A and B are shown apart, each in its own frame.
Chain A
Amino acid sequence: MSEMFYWQALNRAMDAEMAADETVLTLGEDVGLYGGTYRVTEGLMAKYGEWRVRDTPISENSFTGLGVGAAMLGLRPVVEIMTINFALFAMDAIVNMAAKIPFMSGGQFPMPLTIRMPGGVAKQLGAQHSQRLEHMLMNVPGLRMVVPATPQDAYWQLRQAIRSDDPVIVLEHELLYFSKGRVDEMVPAPPIHQAVVRRRGRDITCVAYSRMLPLALQAAETLAAEGIELTVIDLRSLSPIDWNTCITAVEQTHRCLIVEEDCRFAGAGAEFAATLQEHCFYLLDAPIRRVAGMDIPTPFNGTLEAASIPRADDIVQAARQMMARKEAAR
């Protein structure tokens, strides 16, 4: 067990899988000599050579498609797309190829492909580099998508993604790469798609993922001082979603607050709210509420940028309002 950065945990996971299985390779822009824009592939080219750690030209559609073709022949490629914004060029390879081939072939071809990429709003990178596109990929049957929020999950879930015979998107977050946490490489991992309750409280179930998890936990601290107790769920996977964990929690708290960095309109949280109300409607004491990103391209200005996505304080306010309604009802 040791303390490490999120990027280091990913790097350790890559190294472990590449050492264990020679069909594992990685490719992408600057993953080799340069070591990866977020250092995730640092040191791997020197250790495994250029056929297993391949620097590619700037051709997202074709090098992601290369991963698909290589996976059809039994390799386990890990494609790094520098940021999710560039994955829009690769949507054909992801949506039309990786997600469809196993099914269209009647199950003949497994697709042991992992696609790693960071998403989300970082610090003043402008609208083209600050996107949350998870809702698009959630809507594609045949894909799996994990959203690790901690270094430990980054380690576990990347290893599990590489071992999966399904295409898995590992959606990292630009602002999490330099977050630190304990990583135990010897503890068995929970199932790749299992949600985890990070904190238990009686009043509101807060459903969060990726970078919204630390914010939700921070808000929960503040609220606890006021006597409002949050259960905080870390979804860990957006496809499939571990509904059982969510439903069980909402049944206990009777309130549900969704926190997402995704834009509100048709965002990931809309799916959480829809499915949870289908299962928990008669147990709810308040409408399911969303704290979400604004429906606007991310402004460059730092103050406006911060205001366009959820802050811990927004979560606190929303929780207070949900509880105030309870008081008013009495």
Chain B
Amino acid sequence: MRFCRKKAMDKTQMAAMLRDMLRARAFEEAAAQAYAQGHIAGFLHLYPGEEAVAVGVLHAAEPGDYVVSTYREHVHALVRGIPARQIMAELHGKKTGISGGMGGSMHLFDKDRRFLGGYAIVGETFPIALGAGYAVAYRKLPEAVLCFFGDGAVNQGTFHESLNMAALWKLPIFFICENNHYQIGTEIHRHSAITEVYKRACAYGIPAEKADGMNVIAVHEAAERALERIRAGDGPQFLELETYRYRGHSMADSGSYRPNAELNAYQANDPIAAAVHEAEYPYPGIEAVAAASANSVTRFADHCCQEGHLDDATVERMRREIQEEVADAVTFAEQSAAPDMEDAWKAFHRNRRFETLMEVAR
């Protein structure tokens, strides 16, 4: 697969996105392994296959933006900059986890990185993003709120309620639908009357676009366009990204309800393989050079300056570094102390001030 792009992307950005996609895949596979070994318990919803979505979108965002995510959010957290160690430790329920072991896989929160949480009830990300967007608009700040959700969430009442209010008050919210075609085991044609999710946004007058969620550059470009419009004061934007999860809904689900042909088709269109292919500069053969006109050669040279320029060795080095990072995260998680009940009460009471007296009214 070739990427088609409207503008050139600089080498560092391309490399950074590729690195994050590889990190995402490696992190999730390590989590699956830890789960299989019994080190991680509970629900574990993994992301392989959908990497281009989180990476493409989050690389278009600013550090000042807020992110609201679902229960399949490890990768959003990772790409947002939460250290792999702290995410892996949270998956293990350890005290060193990003939520102190009180949240778990589905509830990663990081106030400093404006990561407003993973939510385990389908459809909750809409009102949270609505409130965050309201607070940003209230303070007249140039920030945006990124709201992730799946195709299954759009039939919840909160989807319609929140899109209505976001549009009504022109809130700076970027609605991002990760359409992986399945709400657990029910395929989209069996759960939605309108299967092209982006069309639903027009009911609220929200500009909507659909992009290939298996293509990181297409995702990135669409996200940049939407964020530009939000920052220009155009109000909420909607982006549907068609993607696919290679695994079942969670580790408890084999995903056996999906036809093999479908899975194979999407695996053949693996977003990471595609990104690697793109990032590794394909040197032209003699015929290609001979066939090119002088102008083409110039253009090609420009292209080379602007594009990835990664070679096999670089990608391999990247993979090795990532393996080390992920292995380190797993070791850290395994060796970290578990929280005790004292820690739980501390987390519970952290913001509780049993106010004694209120000062005399001002």
Contact = CB atoms under 8 A, between A and B. Distances in A.
Contact of A108 (B110, B119, B133, B168): B110
Contacts of A101: 109, 117
B135 A69 contact: yes
Contacts of A103: 102, 347-348
A4 to B, nearest CB: 14
B102 A106 contact: yes
B2 interface: no
Interface string A175-188: 00000000001111
A53 B107 CA distance: 32
Contacts of B169: 54
B162 A105 contact: no
B99 A104 contact: yes
A66 B303 CA distance: 46
B172 interface: no
A203 B356 CA distance: 31
Place the interface of chain A in its size category.
Answer: 35 or more
Contacts of B353: 164-165
A104 B117 contact: yes
Contacts of A186: 360-361
A69 B99 contact: no
Nearest to A68: B131
Contacts of A62: 126-127, 130, 157-158, 161-162, 165
A68 B132 CA distance: 9
A51 B157 CA distance: 24
Interface in A72-126: 72-75, 77, 92-93, 96-97, 101-111
Contact of B132 (A73, A104, A193, A240): A73
Interface of A: 16, 20, 25, 51, 54, 56-57, 59, 61-75, 77, 92-93, 96-97, 101-111, 141-142, 156, 159-160, 163-166, 185-193, 240
Interface of B: 66, 68, 97-103, 107, 109-111, 116-117, 119, 121, 124, 126-138, 157-158, 161-162, 164-165, 168-169, 346-348, 350-362
Given A59-B164, A69-B116, A192-B355, 13 more contacts: A25-B138, A51-B138, A57-B165, A65-B124, A74-B135, A97-B127, A102-B347, A105-B117, A109-B111, A164-B353, A165-B351, A186-B360, A189-B358
14 contacts: A16-B361, A57-B164, A57-B168, A59-B157, A65-B126, A72-B131, A72-B132, A92-B124, A105-B107, A106-B99, A107-B100, A111-B351, A160-B358, A165-B353
